Structure 1
Amino acid sequence: MEQDQRILARITEMVENERELRTSLSAGEIDSTTERQRLTELERELDQCWDLLRQRRAKTEYGENPDEAAVRPSSQVEGYLE
């Protein structure tokens, strides 16, 4: 459970970073290219965190050890909907 809380805290932090990027763009502090690059990185990491959290919860639900869940490569996580 403690690990799940850390993952959720990281997700919250990244969502806040996303908001800050959008605010920085609106304020003219960064350009749209920089915003897009940083958002792409954040989105990949967010997807990986959500995937890890889902893995951990599924393992717990089925009586397995959630600590055996592992971060999967973004290329694998990003391809779920394709």
Structure 2
Amino acid sequence: MPMDENDILARINEYVGEEQRLRERYQRRELDREEEHRRLESLEVALDQCWDLLRRRRARLEAGEDPRQEDVRPPDEVEGYLQ
């Protein structure tokens, strides 16, 4: 079942919360730097995918098209964008 905008925003909030918890665990020395870095990179990719999906769905909606036609793009596609 496709995600709606509220689902995407909820997922973004979950990822941001997880990112904050990871940083706190690192500060308390519960994680080593390598583990924190690996997990943060994974979260960054997931967040980028969510933001990308949200932007594309909103663009479709503004254009009068069905936003449900958009789906999550693969990490290599989303991470290949130039900022």
Amino-acid identity (%)? 51
CA RMSD of aligned residues (A): 1.2
Greater helix share, structure number:
1
Unaligned runs of 5+ in 1: none
Counterpart CA distance in 2 for 1:4 and 1:70 is: 12
Deviations 1:39-82 (A, max 9, x none): 01000000000000011000000010000001111111111117
Unmatched 5+ residue regions in structure 2?
Answer: none
Q: Which residue of 2 aligns with 1:55?
A: 56
So what's the TM-score if we normalise by structure 1? 0.94
**Shift >6 Å, 4+ stretches:** none
Q: Is 2:79 the counterpart of 1:78?
A: yes
Q: Residues of 2 paired with 1:75 and 1:7: CA distance?
A: 20
Distance 1:10 1:73 in 2: 17
Aligned residues: 81
